């Protein structure tokens, strides 16, 4: 196999298997090349990943070592992605009765959802996440996007039990915005005790739903290592019950009368 062909094949394999440790002998056997040539190829790939601002290769030495692709969005790429989201959400036609915003088209666009997943995965890649947890239904595409880059399973918390879930654990929680008592359930088979989990949701007002998920996850002895939300509302900040989270966007103002929306960057860049 020519080096150019091998570089394309190896790059594709690494991108399709993020956060997975791959041994040099695997590449050597698969593509019929010496380990020294494979090492040179990996150096080239690592350089281009960094140049493009999409991640890097982490090398682990030793008999059980190898290399793995770690998603890591550069600052410039992150700003470009989030600025684009801000512009899309500031379209006055998105305003719905009650001051809500129509976001279903964004959550239904594969390229946008993938960008969001890449951003969150970049932020949480070093936390040894075992599972991504979300609540049905709008957060599901975002959760799968993050999970695809961290190479971990998705666990879905539901509002009511399903017969296909088997035995479940349920809790009651108070919605942060409406102050209503609601229920959420999770299958007992979903998580193992001691797992590191990341909560992903599409929108957060006061944080009651996310706080409910945290309480539910305590029943599984899970460790909530990170919380990511696509957008947060500003007007509920004083009553917010969740404070340790990462948001991409903050919706500061929705004026139904003047048809104006102000959307700014969330706290994602506070950690740079």
Q: ∠ at Cα 246 (241, 248), nearest 5°?
A: 120
What CA–CA distance (Å, rounded) separates 113 from 81? Answer: 11
Which residues, in sequence order, are bridge partners of residue 56?
A: 70
Query: Is 157 within 8 Å of 184 (Cβ atoms)?
Result: yes
- Given a cut of 90, whether residue 84 has pLDDT beyond it is yes
On whether the 75-271 domain is CATH 3.10.20.30, my answer is no
Query: Per-residue DSSP letters for 64-98?
Result: T-EEEEEE---HHHHHHHHHHHHHHHT-GGGEETT
Burial of 132 (0-12, 13-18, 19+ CB in 10 A): buried
> What is the pLDDT, as a whole number, of residue 258?
85
- Given a cut of 90, whether residue 165 has pLDDT beyond it is no
pLDDT, tens digit, 9 for 90 and up, residues 104-138: 999 999 999 999 999 999 999 999 999 999 999 88
Query: Is 143 within 8 Å of 120 (Cβ atoms)?
Result: no
Mean pLDDT, rounded, for 28-48: 96
Strands 154-157 and 246-255: unpaired
CA–CA distances in Å: residue 56 to residues 10, 33, 50, 210, 257: 14, 22, 6, 31, 47
- Given a cut of 80, whether residue 239 has pLDDT beyond it is no
By percentage, how much of the chain surpasses pLDDT 70? 97
More confident site: 74 or 175 = 74
Domain layout of the chain by residue ranges = 3-71, 75-271
Q: Could you give the count of Cα atoms lying within 13 Å of 72 in the half-sphere of its Cβ?
A: 16
pTM as predicted: 0.93
> What is the pLDDT, as a whole number, of residue 155?
97
Q: What is the DSSP letter of 109?
A: -
Quick one: tokens of 109? 């666009």
Q: Which of 54-58, 94-98, 150-154, 238-242 has the lowest mean pLDDT?
A: 238-242
Query: Is 265 within 8 Å of 247 (Cβ atoms)?
Result: no
> What is the pLDDT, as a whole number, of residue 179?
73
> What is the pLDDT, as a whole number, of residue 178?
65
Nearest of 183, 163, 165, 164 to residue 173 by alpha carbon: 183
Backbone angles phi, psi at 98, to 5 degrees: 90, 5
- Given a cut of 80, whether residue 169 has pLDDT beyond it is yes
> What is the pLDDT, as a whole number, of residue 235?
61
pLDDT, tens digit, 9 for 90 and up, residues 211-235: 999 999 999 999 999 999 999 988 6
> What is the pLDDT, as a whole number, of residue 97?
85
Quick one: tokens of 157? 């918390």
Quick one: tokens of 159? 């509002």
Ranges 160-174, 211-225, 245-259, most confident: 211-225
Work out the mean pLDDT of the chain and round it to a whole number. 92
Q: How many residues does the chain have?
A: 272
Which class is 3-71 in CATH?
mainly alpha
Quick one: tokens of 16? 């399709």
Q: What is the DSSP letter of 189?
A: T
What CA–CA distance (Å, rounded) separates 267 from 83? Answer: 13
């Amino acid at each position: 196999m020519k080096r150019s062909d091998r570089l394309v094949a190896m790059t594709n394999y690494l991108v399709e298997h993020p956060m997975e440790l791959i041994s040099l002998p695997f590449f050597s056997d698969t593509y019929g090349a010496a380990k020294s040539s494979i090492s040179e190829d990996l150096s080239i790939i690592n350089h281009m990943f960094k140049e493009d601002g999409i991640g890097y290769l982490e090398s682990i030495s030793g008999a059980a070592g190898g290399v793995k692709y770690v998603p890591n969005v550069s600052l410039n790429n992150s700003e470009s992605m989030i600025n684009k989201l801000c512009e899309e959400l500031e379209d006055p036609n998105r305003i719905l009765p009650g001051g809500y915003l129509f976001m279903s088209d964004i959550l239904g666009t594969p390229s946008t959802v993938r960008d969001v997943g890449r951003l969150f995965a970049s932020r949480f890649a070093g936390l040894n996440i075992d599972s991504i947890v979300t609540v049905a239904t709008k957060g599901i595409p975002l959760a799968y996007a993050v999970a695809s880059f961290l190479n971990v399973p998705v666990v879905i918390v539901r509002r009511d039990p399903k017969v296909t879930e088997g035995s479940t654990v349920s809790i009651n929680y108070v919605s942060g915005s409406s102050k209503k008592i609601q229920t959420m359930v999770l299958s007992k088979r979903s998580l193992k005790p001691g797992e590191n989990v990341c909560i992903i949701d599409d929108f957060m007002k006061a944080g009651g739903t996310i706080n409910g998920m945290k309480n539910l996850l305590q029943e599984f002895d899970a460790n909530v290592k990170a919380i990511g939300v696509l957008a947060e509302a500003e007007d509920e900040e004083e009553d917010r019950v969740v404070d340790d989270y990462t948001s991409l966007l903050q919706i500061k103002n929705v004026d139904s009368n003047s048809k104006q929306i102000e959307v700014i960057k969330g706290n994602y860049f506070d950690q740079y």
